[in-house]
Amino acid sequence: MKLKLALFTIILSAITVLAGCEPLLVLDPKGPQAERLASDILLSMGIMVGIVIVVLVLLVMTLVKYRASKQADDYEPPHIEGNIWVEAVMIGIPILIVAYLSFVSVQSNYIVESAPKGYEDKEPLVVYASSSNWKWHFSYPEEGIETVNYLYIPTDRALEFKLYSHGPITSFWIPQLGGQKYAMNDHVTTLHLAADVAGDYMGRNANFSGAGFAENIFDVTAMSQEEFDEWVEEVKETADPITEDKFEELLEPGHLGRMTFTGTHLEFNSPPEGHHNHGSTDHEGHEESEEADSHSSDEETDHSNH
């Protein structure tokens, strides 16, 4: 009776706890990058479940076959040499599983780090997403607007986020659109995303960055390109311009609600010069730096000669 009561209590507790859980957003993808990551997660889970089932079956077979028997006390089992095929299977299968998952992971990494599949020939929407304690600033340089703690994006269009931080390292993450990526204060990182489905999504900082980390979140709304263009025009007509003093005020530690401005802080507070992107940005910046250093060195030499 006590055993049944304990079992019933455990089952009831598990149901109660699981009923309060939110759905796994990473397994509800709304974009091509997120779909790739979700498929990798499900693949890994399927392989792990298969391994667990096989191990449990072998455990039961071993317990049944080699259980204690009514042999004489002086009984000695025959000496058996190792089976090369059993050893090959026990070593080979884990190696094959790890090799396969490694191949899938590397392949997926290249896919999510490039333009979303199906959007390679489309001009992306570039958004500079920068963090501060404990808020997110979204600058739309082409549109000439800026928002705080919320993000509007068009569907069926590639998104190119330029990430950096005005303070500690943070991590930009919209689970239903793709994986997370770090935002640092010494260089810019690039994250490629796309939204296939209109709707509201949750975004957050996925890296602990101090006391206000838990509420360092932002809202994401995906809409059609026409609705996005209308919103941009509305912002330009109604929002106040962002000033240097106002931006310095926004950088003070604390939490804020949604805010909207015309113009961007990029005009007076440039992002870090270093870029960590795919392409020639780093190379070109390095060449420009070398040319500047060479020019400066020549000037110093001429000055010393005089």
Closest CA to 36 of 210, 193, 238, 257: 193
What is the per-residue pLDDT across 89-106, written as a single tens digit (0 to 9) for each? Answer: 889 999 999 999 999 999
Q: How far is it, in rounded angstroms, from Cα 38 to Cα 140?
A: 29
Residues for the chain: how many in total? 306
The number of beta carbons lying within 10 Å of the beta carbon of residue 82 is: 7
Strands 125-132 and 158-165: parallel
Q: Measure the CA–CA gap between 214 and 208, rounded to whole angstroms.
A: 8
What pLDDT, in 10s, does the model give residues 245-262?
999 999 999 999 999 999
Q: Supply 24's token pair.
A: 């796994």
Q: What is the pLDDT along the chain (306 residues), one digit of tens a residue?
A: 566 566 667 666 665 554 445 568 889 999 999 999 999 999 999 999 999 999 999 999 989 988 877 778 788 878 878 888 888 988 999 999 999 999 999 999 999 999 998 888 889 999 999 999 999 999 999 999 999 999 999 999 999 999 999 999 999 999 999 999 999 998 999 999 999 999 999 999 999 988 889 989 999 999 999 999 999 999 999 999 999 999 999 999 999 999 999 999 999 999 997 655 443 334 334 344 444 444 444 444 444 443
Q: Which fold has domain 125-276?
A: Immunoglobulin-like (2.60.40)
Instruction: Give the pairing type, strands 240-241 and 187-194.
Output: unpaired
Task: Give strand ranges (E) for the chain.
Answer: 125-132, 135-140, 145-148, 150-154, 158-165, 170-173, 181-183, 187-194, 199-205, 217-223, 240-241, 259-262, 274-276
Domain range summary for the chain, segments of one domain joined by +: 125-276
Residue appearing with tokens 């001009």: 123
Rg (CA), the chain: 28
The pair phi, psi for residue 222, each rounded to 5°, is -100, 135
CA atoms within 13 A on the CB side of 79: 1
**CB-facing half-sphere around the CA of 199: CA atoms within 13 A:** 14
pLDDT in the model for residue 23: 66
DSSP secondary structure letters along 114-130:
SSPTT-TTSPPEEEEEE
